[in-house]
Structure 1
Amino acid sequence: MIVGIGTDLCVIERFKTMLERRPGLAERLLTEGERALSIESQAARFAAKEALAKALGSPGGMRWLDCEVIKTDDGEPRFVTSGSVAARIEELGIETIHLSISHDGGFATTMVVCER
């Protein structure tokens, strides 16, 4: 059963400018591992977190750093969650989270489907 669906689109140049204008913002949005990636991949991971928040019903109090996007050994993106995000996932009874990420032509786009 689908519990939630979320999508997000991020303009990579606008994301880059936002990080340059607001010192410390990257540290509040992205984990250390995510910050080590290219700006395109950083924007995609931010979009993935936005899409996940939408799929979870956008509850207040969720922390950006309680969610990290990693790649499996096969190159598939997936979430690693903790704290506030993991608590919301448990509250909704979510068992599987599907994540699709793409970035090209100056845009990063993501889609998330949560199932129980």
Structure 2
Amino acid sequence: MIYGIGTDICDLRRLRATLDRRGERFAEKVLGPHELAVFRVRRARVEARGLSFLGTRFAAKEAFSKAIGLGMRMPMTWRACEIVNAASGKPEILLHGELAEWFAAKGLRAHVTVTDETEYAAAFVVVETI
């Protein structure tokens, strides 16, 4: 049974402006440890790839927060929710700490998809009861 659905779109031009103003501190606020490592590698190779990665993760976390009905309030935090890739490349949601405990206690499972284009990144999340 579907518990919630969330979607979000991120304007990469606004994200770029935020990175220009705040530097990597913004990425460190939004990304978890696994994501931050990938972001740094991608950004070092090609700036636009790092920006797209950050945008898809930002959008996915916003979509997830909507799907679980909490928005960005406890136990939902930027860094407690990570979007990681399975070996196949499929994006998956990895939760930490209080958010992981809350999610498990409710008996939920999440599915996420992300996409990006030159100026936008988007994500769609479906959360279901197990």
TM-score (norm 2): 0.80
Percent identity between the two aligned chains: 34
Shift of 1:34: 4.5
RMSD (Å), alpha carbons? 1.5
Equivalent positions of 1:79-98 (< 5 A) are 79-94=93-108, 96-98=109-111
Q: Deviations over 1:15-56 (max 9, x none)?
A: 121122124221111122243231101110110011001111
Partner of 1:8: 8
Contact 1:2 1:115 (8 Å CA) reproduced = yes
Aligned partner of residue 101 in structure 2, secondary structure: helix
Aligned partner of residue 65 in structure 1, secondary structure: coil
Shift of 1:88: 3.1
C-alpha spacing 1:112/1:10, structure 2 compared with 1 (3 Å): same
Counterpart AA for 1:35: F
Contact 1:34 1:68 (8 Å CA) reproduced = no
Aligned partner of residue 87 in structure 2, secondary structure: coil
* Residue 33, structure 1, aligned to residue 37, structure 2: yes
Contact 2:56 2:121 (8 Å CA) reproduced = yes
C-alpha spacing 1:34/1:48, structure 2 compared with 1 (3 Å): farther
Q: Aligned pair count?
A: 115
Equivalent positions of 1:54-93 (< 5 A) are 54-59=66-71, 60-61=73-74, 62-93=76-107
* Residue 52, structure 1, aligned to residue 64, structure 2: yes
Partner of 2:115: 102
Shift of 1:89: 1.3
In 2, the alpha carbon distance for the partners of 1:8 and 1:45 equals: 10
Q: Deviations over 1:66-107 (max 9, x none)?
A: 11111111110011111132133124320x211110001311
Q: Which has the higher helix share?
A: 2
